[in-house]
């Protein structure tokens, strides 16, 4: 279910209803944590391929030397350690949908193979002699600007055009504040049920803090903050302290840029302290990658205070 009452979310719902039952390729773009995989799950549920589970490949999480085998498979003896035949994700997804998350992280030589899979509906296992026909719908996602990646020589223009027959862009949460209240209430209900808690909502100051927070981790960060608050919180309502947020007073003179930076620095600092500067745990709480977290620490010169 796609939660939100903003105009852009309503437009995304309309696009999904138009394309879900087609086999067209789809490119979903947006910052980390905006909900790209959720869009894929909704399309899968409404598609003609819903009988088979979607196959998800996190292109940025698999080492490049393993990625080709993971995607396309290999034959026995095709390389050192290939003791038996291995089917790749494209074969596993036969008759269904394959979701290529963070496709912008794919090396160029594998982008060519993805292009062939789209155009010719064929793949080759490593060491294979006979092409394998595939019947797969491809949905790709990226948090990078692929047109910029093309200019820098990191992404193929022909593959970009093939993928973007239809596109969905999910704006960051900070650009659709009207969705924050409905999302937070929805996730609070879900989390209450998961942990058998009975929080009835958020305090007024908590909601104000959420409305002004820059949400660098987007919806994923919102989910993580609510989950932690439900686990650790007390009372009937969750406040801004439970959520690890800071309420900026309206009278404080600051530009919009300074406000965003102050909030981003404060929320990052507090998350680091709560997690005793464990980069993995902190980035998970914020809903961002460790790389992004390290960049924020460097940008704001955040240092340990204990």
Domain ranges of the chain: 7-171, 174-299
Does the pLDDT value for residue 250 go beyond 70?
no
pLDDT of residue 273: 75
Region 55-79: what's the mean pLDDT? 94
pLDDT of residue 252: 55
Please state which of the ranges 16-25, 70-79, 248-257 shows the lowest mean pLDDT: 248-257
Q: Quick: pLDDT tens for 15-33.
A: 999 999 999 999 999 999 9
210 — phi, psi (to 5°)?
Answer: -65, -35
Provide the sign of the torsion angle of the four alpha carbons 133, 137, 141, 147, taken in this order.
positive
**What are the CA-CA distances from residue 147 to residues 29, 35, 151, 291 (Å)?**
11, 21, 6, 22
Region 170-192: what's the mean pLDDT? 96
Name the nearest CA neighbour of 60 among 101, 115, 114, 109.
Answer: 101
pLDDT of residue 249: 59
**Total residue length of the chain:** 306
Does the pLDDT value for residue 270 go beyond 50?
yes
* CA 296 to chain CA centroid, nearest Å: 19
Starting at the edge strand found earlier in the chain, the sheet holding 26-30 runs 55-58, 97-101, 137-142, 26-30, 166-170
Region 51-64: what's the mean pLDDT? 95
pLDDT of residue 306: 46
Question: Does domain 7-171 correspond to CATH entry 3.40.50.920?
Answer: no
Q: What's this model's pTM, rounded to 2 decimal places?
A: 0.81
Output the CATH code of domain 174-299: 1.10.8.60
Q: Taking the C-alpha atoms of 95, 97, 98 and 102 in order, what is their torsion angle to the nearest 10 degrees?
A: 170
What percent of the chain has a predicted confidence (pLDDT) above 70?
Answer: 97
Other C-beta atoms lying within 10 Å of the C-beta of residue 66: 9
Does the pLDDT value for residue 267 go beyond 90?
no
| More confidently predicted of 184 and 267 | 184
DSSP string, 163-184: HTTEEEEE--GGG-GGGHHHHH
- Both tokens assigned to 157: 């223009």
pLDDT of residue 247: 75
């Amino acid at each position: 279910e796609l939660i939100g009452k903003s105009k852009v979310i309503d437009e995304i719902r309309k696009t999904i209803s138009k394309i879900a039952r087609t086999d067209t390729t789809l490119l979903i773009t947006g910052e980390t944590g905006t909900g790209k995989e959720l869009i894929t799950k909704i399309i899968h549920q409404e598609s003609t391929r819903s009988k088979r589970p979607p196959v998800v490949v996190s292109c940025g999480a698999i080492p490049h030397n393993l990625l080709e085998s993971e995607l396309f498979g290999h034959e026995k003896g095709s390389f050192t350690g290939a003791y038996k035949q291995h089917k790749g994700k494209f074969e596993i997804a036969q008759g269904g949908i394959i979701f290529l998350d963070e496709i912008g992280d794919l090396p160029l030589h594998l982008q060519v193979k993805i292009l062939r899979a789209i155009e010719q509906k064929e793949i080759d296992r490593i060491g294979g002699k006979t092409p394998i026909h595939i019947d797969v719908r491809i949905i790709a996602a990226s948090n990078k600007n692929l047109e910029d990646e093309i200019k820098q020589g990191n992404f193929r223009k022909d593959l970009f055009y093939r993928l973007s027959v239809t596109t969905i862009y999910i704006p960051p949460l900070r650009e659709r504040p009207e969705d924050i209240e409905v999302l937070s209430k929805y996730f609070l209900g879900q989390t209450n049920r998961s942990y058998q808690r009975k929080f009835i909502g958020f305090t007024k100051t908590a909601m104000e803090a959420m409305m002004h927070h820059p949400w660098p981790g987007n919806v994923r960060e919102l989910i993580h903050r609510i989950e932690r608050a439900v686990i650790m919180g007390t009372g009937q309502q969750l406040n801004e302290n439970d959520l690890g947020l800071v309420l900026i007073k309206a009278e404080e003179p600051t530009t919009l840029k300074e406000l965003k930076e102050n909030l981003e620095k404060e929320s990052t600092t507090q998350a680091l302290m709560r997690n005793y500067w464990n980069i993995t745990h902190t980035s998970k709480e914020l809903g961002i990658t460790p790389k992004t977290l390290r960049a924020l620490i460097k940008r704001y010169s955040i240092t340990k205070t204990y």
